[in-house]
């Protein structure tokens, strides 16, 4: 593994190194817009909170890190007035509004953190808010970088969200930069405190050419780098891109896993990628409640999509319980739902949002080894089934990979 270019920890990397592995004109424009809002906050006192949306591995942390660095460089004389605290993702998990405030002091100023730990009246939010205000007033702008902000908002609840909104509006020094896999109820529903409060930026997937460029920039194998511009290898990358899409994390992992022999076969590249993603997916699946994990795995076993009633029947669950679990999975970005264009419009069809998760479960259970069987099975799925066309093509491609061996 290359510690200068990790696939999962953008904030562990120096901004200069991140910049070297940044590809895509659209991505650069998004970084500039967010940096511009930070600049605006420093110079005008406005607080244009921003929410960055993109699937896991799309580069949200990468984008925010670069935006912070660009904003600091644009105003070197006032960069000292900008302070940022990063919360969420894997370094903290505030379970309440009070915990959130305490975590801010923990990562900002240890003396205030220890002061907040001194026993006081139960629920003494005012003391915690006063401590955070002490920190924020020392900065021209105090940036709260809240990764997985959807989970954080869920944890602190509606009352905590309203309290946070009130505190941010009163303090006037705090700017929030958040990230999430998808838009979520707490920012899209008029009944919630943060409705309409964020400028939204969506991270686009990389094109084939951008994915190829990222491989070129991140691989340490000189022979691989030399071969990536040759037409036969470009054709193999084109096939692979149709399967895995343009998520930067996937191509980053591939850059560490492939050699020239692997690069000759999209099937070998796919298997190397799934092996590299195994710890990530294992951890995410084990974080789910057992009933929700069963539903996710069952969706992979009954591709490409399934109804609530069929999933409930296959997992010995009441339809109402299955519907509730699927609702939670949808809010967390695991699944999505749609209607059949020609079937009963009252019935929802659920599918896994991350195609690589489906392939990972097939790979882990051994189903991927018999790709021809998968392709034949998928070919029997009615074409009007949601997601059918997409997965018929994917399994056809994978079966073609197997025929190479």
Average pLDDT of the residues of the chain: 86
pLDDT per residue over 11-69, tens digit each? 667 777 777 788 887 888 999 999 999 988 888 889 999 999 998 889 999 999 999 98
Helices 231-244 and 355-365, packing angle to 10 deg: 100
Query: Stretch 358-366: mean pLDDT, rounded?
Result: 91
Using CB atoms within 10 Å of the CB of residue 79, give its burial: 0 to 12 exposed, 13 to 18 middle, 19+ buried: middle
Q: Report whether 193 contacts 176 (CB < 8 A).
A: no
Please state the pTM of the whole predicted model: 0.84
pLDDT confidence of 3, banded at 50, 70, 90?
very low
Residues 6+ apart with CB under 8 A from 76: none
Where helices occur in 15-137 by DSSP H, the ranges are 15-20, 25-44, 60-74, 97-108, 110-117, 125-136
The phi and psi torsions of 343 (rounded to 5 degrees) equal: -95, -155
pLDDT per residue over 163-205, tens digit each? 999 999 999 899 999 999 888 889 999 999 999 999 999 999 9
Q: Report whether 19 contacts 217 (CB < 8 A).
A: no
- Tell which residue, 33, 17, 36, 37, has the closest CA to residue 25: 33
Q: Report whether 215 contacts 257 (CB < 8 A).
A: no
pLDDT per residue over 289-323, tens digit each? 999 999 999 999 888 999 999 999 999 999 999 99
Q: Report whether 347 contacts 385 (CB < 8 A).
A: no
Distance CA 234, CA 242 (A): 12
Distance CA 289, CA 226 (A): 46
Distance CA 136, CA 173 (A): 6
Distance CA 228, CA 362 (A): 29
């Amino acid at each position: 593994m290359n510690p200068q270019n990790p696939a999962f920890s953008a904030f562990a990397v120096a901004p200069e190194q991140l910049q070297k592995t940044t590809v895509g004109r659209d991505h650069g424009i998004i970084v500039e817009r967010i940096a511009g809002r930070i600049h605006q906050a420093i110079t005008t006192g406005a607080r244009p909170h921003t929410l960055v949306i993109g699937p896991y591995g799309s580069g949200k942390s990468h984008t925010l890190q670069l935006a912070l660095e660009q904003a600091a460089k644009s105003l070197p004389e006032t960069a000292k007035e900008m302070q940022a605290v990063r919360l969420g993702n894997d370094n903290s998990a505030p379970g309440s509004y009070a915990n959130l405030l305490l975590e801010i002091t923990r990562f900002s100023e240890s003396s205030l953190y220890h002061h907040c730990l001194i026993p006081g009246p139960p629920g003494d939010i005012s003391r915690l808010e006063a401590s955070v205000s002490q920190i924020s007033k020392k900065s021209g702008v105090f940036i709260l970088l809240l990764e997985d902000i959807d989970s954080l908002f869920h944890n602190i609840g509606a009352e905590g969200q309203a309290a946070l909104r009130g505190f941010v509006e009163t303090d006037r020094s705090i700017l929030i930069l958040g990230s999430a896999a998808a838009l979520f109820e707490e920012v899209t529903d008029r009944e919630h405190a943060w409705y309409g409060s964020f400028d939204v930026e969506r991270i686009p997937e990389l094109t084939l050419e951008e994915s190829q460029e990222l491989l070129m920039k991140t691989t340490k194998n000189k022979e691989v780098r030399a071969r990536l511009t040759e037409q036969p290898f470009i054709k193999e990358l084109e096939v692979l891109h149709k399967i895995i899409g343009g998520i930067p994390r996937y191509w980053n992992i591939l850059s560490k896993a492939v050699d020239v022999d692997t690069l000759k076969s999209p099937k070998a590249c796919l298997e190397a990628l799934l092996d590299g993603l195994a710890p990530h997916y294992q951890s995410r699946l084990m974080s789910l409640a057992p009933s929700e994990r069963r539903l996710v795995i069952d969706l992979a076993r009954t591709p490409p999509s399934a109804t609530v009633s069929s999933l409930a029947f296959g997992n010995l669950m009441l339809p109402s319980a299955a519907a509730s679990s699927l609702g939670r999975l949808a809010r967390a970005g695991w699944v999505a739902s749609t209607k059949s264009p020609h079937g009963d419009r009252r019935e929802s069809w659920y599918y896994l949002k991350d195609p690589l998760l489906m392939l990972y479960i097939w790979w882990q259970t051994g189903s991927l080894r018999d790709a021809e069987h998968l392709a034949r099975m998928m070919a029997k799925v009615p074409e009007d089934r949601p997601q059918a066309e997409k997965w018929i093509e994917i399994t056809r491609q994978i079966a073609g990979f197997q025929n190479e061996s």
